[in-house]
Amino acid sequence: MNRVYNFSAGPSMLPLSVLESAQKDLLAYGDTGMSVMEMSHRSPAFEPIIADAEAKLRAVMEIPDNYKVLFLQGGASTQFAAIPLNFMNKNKKADYILSGQFSTKAYQEAQKYGDVVAVASSKDVNFSRIPETTRASFRPDADYVHICYNNTIYGTKFNYIPDTGDIPLIADMSSCIISEPVDVSKFGVIYAGAQKNMAPAGLTVVIVREDLLGNARPDTPAMLDYKLMADNGSMYNTPPCWPIYIAKLVYEWILDLGGLTEMKKLNEKKANLLYDYLDSQDYYIAPVEKASRSMMNVTFVTGDAELDKKFASEAGKVGLKNLKGHRSVGGMRASIYNAMPYEGVEALVAFMKDFAKNNPK
Ligand SMILES: *Cc1c(COP(=O)(O)O)cnc(C)c1O
């Protein structure tokens, strides 16, 4: 076995111990004589798996009792439509903060369903920082405010929770969920595609305050109706059983580490190592404004597109994979989610130093 340090933005690394655990039970789970992949989702063997996944996520995130946890499919991108369908239901108005590509896609999708306004944007600075907002930024009669909490492509993260007063705040947390503690009660809805920090692709987690459910537009497809999904315990149809099982193992891994407080310490240690190095030299440029830096996705460039290309290719040859940045930013991006060990970031920084020495500008 020869595992690399995989800096992919998603799907991305999973904890080795989780993969080993899944491997051990791959052919026969417990005494069932079958793989979790082969089980009926309504079987006595699977029911505790999904119940446990929910219980463990509730424990990890300290989710209050008045919130439902849904295990859905379709990725975060499907929720871009489900959110206006479920929640743009009083005044048919919603306010969006544009902080990158995914929040822009969410905004464009919502425009199909009502009066949707971009109340703040950092597009003019190529999304290199998080837009500032105050209570006055939002329309008092907006049905909700939508943000993307961590911007996977640009490497920025909200360092504040927008004050929306009584207006429910809805957050796409695909690339930062369970990386640090968040106060769930500050949000009406949190949603995340699982393939960045929780599980293999195919699972989408939605955490929704109960009182917001039950007012979906009448033409909402059944599969996008959160109330229907909640009433059926995420089993209106076949849920993504295998990713739910892996997510459960990942939640257990975090609880064993000491929960999100410990997880945050480990993540900060990794991110600080990389950012401190970036701040200590002038070969690489980190385009993101310091106050908006993401702890999960770190972007940097050499300023020379040819050198950037060479960097990603040479890093790949020594087992530091998938460091090429997204095409809209260029340069490099190191995604250092929960499962990336500290040693992976150490190896990256050592490589960066060597590369700078061997490739003078
Ligand atoms: C990856 C990502 C998405 C898109 O997720 P899909 O599951 O592919 O639809 C949306 N938002 C954020 C913040 C992401 O990182």
Return the domain boundaries, the chain: 17-256, 259-358
Give the residue whose CA is nearest to atom 14 of ligand 1.
174
For residue 174 and ligand 1, the question of a CB distance below 6 A is answered with yes
The stretch 225-236 carries a mean pLDDT of 98
Please state the pTM of the whole predicted model: 0.98
Pocket test for ligand 1, best of 174, 299, 335 (most atoms within 8 A of CB): 174
How much is the pLDDT for 237? 97
Q: State what percent of residues in the chain have pLDDT above 70.
A: 100
The stretch 60-73 carries a mean pLDDT of 98
Which positions ≥6 away from 101 have C-beta within 8 Å? 127, 151, 153, 154, 326, 328
The stretch 203-214 carries a mean pLDDT of 98
Which of the four CATH numbers 1.50.10.100, 3.30.70.100, 3.40.640.10, 3.40.50.300 does domain 17-256 have? 3.40.640.10
Atom of ligand 1 nearest to the CA of 201: 7
How much is the pLDDT for 328? 85
| Banded model confidence at residue 329, pLDDT cuts 50, 70, 90 | confident
Alpha carbon separation from 39 to 25, 35, 230, 232 (Å, rounded): 13, 7, 22, 19
The stretch 112-117 carries a mean pLDDT of 97
CA of 195 to the centre of ligand 1 (A): 9
pLDDT at 137 over 90: yes
Give the residue whose CA is nearest to atom 5 of ligand 1.
76
How much is the pLDDT for 1? 76
pLDDT at 56 over 90: yes
Give me the CATH topology for the region 259-358. Answer: Aspartate Aminotransferase, domain 1 (3.90.1150)
Alpha carbon separation from 356 to 147, 151, 217 (Å, rounded): 37, 27, 56
The stretch 156-167 carries a mean pLDDT of 98
